[in-house]
Structure 1
Amino acid sequence: MKHFKLIVVMVIMSFAGFSQAAKEQTDTAAQKAILVTGASSGIGLRMTQLLSQNGFYVYAGVLHKDEMGALNALDNVTAVQFDVRKQDEIDAAAKFVQAQGRGLYGLINNAGVSIFGPMIELPVEQLEYQMDVNVYGPFRVTQAFAPLIMESKGRIATTGSIAGILSPAFMGAYSMSKHAIEAYTDAMAQEMARYDVSVHVIEPGNYGTNIGNAAKQRLLAQNYWNEKSRYNKERQGLLARLDQTEKGPDPIDVAEAALHLMQSDSPKSRYMVTATPAQADITLRRQISKMLELNAEQVHQFNREQLIKLLDEELAKTSGSKK
């Protein structure tokens, strides 16, 4: 009789263990996973924090191994170390994520750098570095993780910038990289639609991040824009402004855009997020002025009435979409 009771208890315990394991497996499968690159600070860190606090499991991509500990300490976060410039490290990260068994619903290409300097003086290797991180980086990472995203019919986003619309003096290299992301997003959105994968760009204005400090350190360490420049006065002013970059507004607004993008049944293609109305105003005005520059004195020039009709038609498309 005792043996019979023992067997019953063991069966119950085994069943309970199996049920718990099955539940954990189900919970893991149900929790959507998102990879965020450049997650150690600034916008990427805020995205990682907000997404992981709102039901998502986040793979936090970092450049340096010593950045992993703080991220691994967060609930629903696993840090993954790789350099977006190195294909072998990206491929290893993709294999790691696949082996975790959660799949991958979302990818946010957020890692980025800023290079400043006059267009006629900037060394070509600095431009190459700018594009390698900000353009080729998302290109490499997206190709590596695309099969997982396609399998889950998920979402791909890249952190662009209002500099993808604007092109301020001495920010030409950075703006070139962010203009490229605009084209990259538009082309890939059309290509991925047949696989039920949506593609988006988040375009922040000026927020508090470490990108300015990193840009200043590189500029001074490599001395590629120095006192001998034709634009030395402007150089001094820029260096002073870069000191203030990390003191900007909390980029939580940008993280909330990422959360909406991943949660919404009808996410937007573009998320412009600015800390002030003035930043939004100058960006939208520049976009309008580009349209008018294109239209001016061209063979098929539209008149004012036709332009307003075009604007009304596009507004109707926007207002008709779900928020």
Structure 2
Amino acid sequence: MKQSYRGSVLITGAAGGIGRAAVQRLASMNYRVFAGVREVGQAKRLSAIGSNVVPVVLDITDSGSVESAASAVKDALGTEGLDGLVNNAGKIVQGPLELLSMEEIKRQFDVNVFGQIAVTQAFLPLLRKSGGRIVNIGAVTGKTAMPYIGALSASKHALEAVSDALRVELEPWRIHVSHIDPAALGTDIFAKAGAEARHSLNRVPEEKRKLYEKAIAAVNASFAKQPVSSADVAAVAIVHALSSPRPRTRYAVGKGARLVVMLSHLPDRLKDRLLKGSLGLAKL
């Protein structure tokens, strides 16, 4: 007997904090969840969530991997379409823009922007079949750029523009596009970013590194004190965007998210002063 599902959804970056929380919520609601992961080991752990979780090996920065994943999902769906695509895979590159290599900055955009567009293009035929929905995971730093994570802010700001354009372009097929901006969440992506940043700084000539040492220390101390929310707050927003009769175009989630978004509407000089004060940079 053929299994009946509430709908079918693909989530990229499904092994991360937000991704796994969303997989768990959607699976518990009887969605068939295609969980995009980069490694087979991650796939096995996600399979344990439920029989309606289908891991799919997917590296969003590899065109061959994206095409292969789209083909696998299409075969699994048969004559059905895809009801939702959650572009969740992401990366954080942190550090002063002057000290980042161009390879690091390009990698930031490969994951956070170009990969998202590639996946969307590949899965749009399946979404068009069922009038599905797209949910892009941005960040509040895409609304209010933060110093010392400028590459991240720039990439998430670009993703905001992608969401805005897609929302209008795909309206003729009733494909709704939502954009979710989380504040700091309790996931391991920040720990990974911190470790990568320290490794990157060690490759920078000492005379350049010293220019920013005090500022980096102040910002890191400020980030360590910021309020952190559970990844589940983003998962709740994802479920609403996929299942509500009236999904929002934008969601700001997590502690302090709306405050950071509000900062983007302030005059530049005032906003800069407030940011420097909150990040411990005003005294430097």
What TM-score, normalized to structure 1?
Answer: 0.76
Q: Tell me the distance in 2 between the aligned counterparts of 1:125 and 1:48.
A: 32
Alpha carbon RMSD of aligned pairs, Å? Answer: 2.2
Are 2:113 and 2:158, in contact at CA under 8 Å, matched by a contact in 1?
A: yes
Residues 1:167 and 2:145 aligned together: yes
The equivalent residue for 2:126 is: 148
Instruction: In structure 2, list runs of 5 or more residues that go unmatched.
Output: 272-284
Among 46, 60, 66, the alignment partner of 2:41 is 66
Residues 1:34 and 2:34 aligned together: no
Among 249, 254, 258, the alignment partner of 1:269 is 249
SS in 1 for 2:114: helix
Q: Tell me the distance in 2 between the aligned counterparts of 1:89 and 1:196.
A: 28
Residues 1:107 and 2:117 aligned together: no
Instruction: In structure 1, list runs of 5 or more residues that go unmatched.
Output: 1-20, 294-323
SS in 1 for 2:120: helix
Label 1:63 to 1:244 Cα distance change in 2 as closer, same or farther (>3 A): farther
Q: Tell me the distance in 1 between the aligned counterparts of 2:46 and 2:249.
A: 29
Q: Tell me the distance in 1 between the aligned counterparts of 2:31 and 2:212.
A: 47
Q: Tell me the distance in 1 between the aligned counterparts of 2:133 and 2:145.
A: 28
Residues 1:178 and 2:153 aligned together: no
Are 1:36 and 1:109, in contact at CA under 8 Å, matched by a contact in 2?
A: yes
CA deviations on 1:290-314 (whole Å, 9 max, x unpaired) are: 7x99xxxxxxxxxxxxxxxxxxxxx
Are 1:213 and 1:243, in contact at CA under 8 Å, matched by a contact in 2?
A: no
SS in 2 for 1:271: strand
The equivalent residue for 2:280 is: none
CA deviations on 1:11-55 (whole Å, 9 max, x unpaired) are: xxxxxxxxxx3xx16x2xx53110111111211111111111112
Q: Tell me the distance in 2 between the aligned counterparts of 1:199 and 1:33.
A: 16
Which letter does structure 1 place at the counterpart of 2:148?
F
Are 1:226 and 1:232, in contact at CA under 8 Å, matched by a contact in 2?
A: no
Label 1:174 to 1:225 Cα distance change in 2 as closer, same or farther (>3 A): farther
SS in 2 for 1:100: helix
Label 1:50 to 1:244 Cα distance change in 2 as closer, same or farther (>3 A): farther
> Higher helix proportion, which one?
1
The equivalent residue for 2:214 is: 233
By relative contact order (CA 8 Å, sep 6+), the higher-ranking structure is 2
Residues 1:187 and 2:168 aligned together: no
Among 265, 271, 274, the alignment partner of 1:287 is 265
CA deviations on 1:130-183 (whole Å, 9 max, x unpaired) are: 000000010110011110001110101110011111111111100000000110
Q: Tell me the distance in 1 between the aligned counterparts of 2:159 and 2:222.
A: 25
The total of aligned residue pairs comes to 264
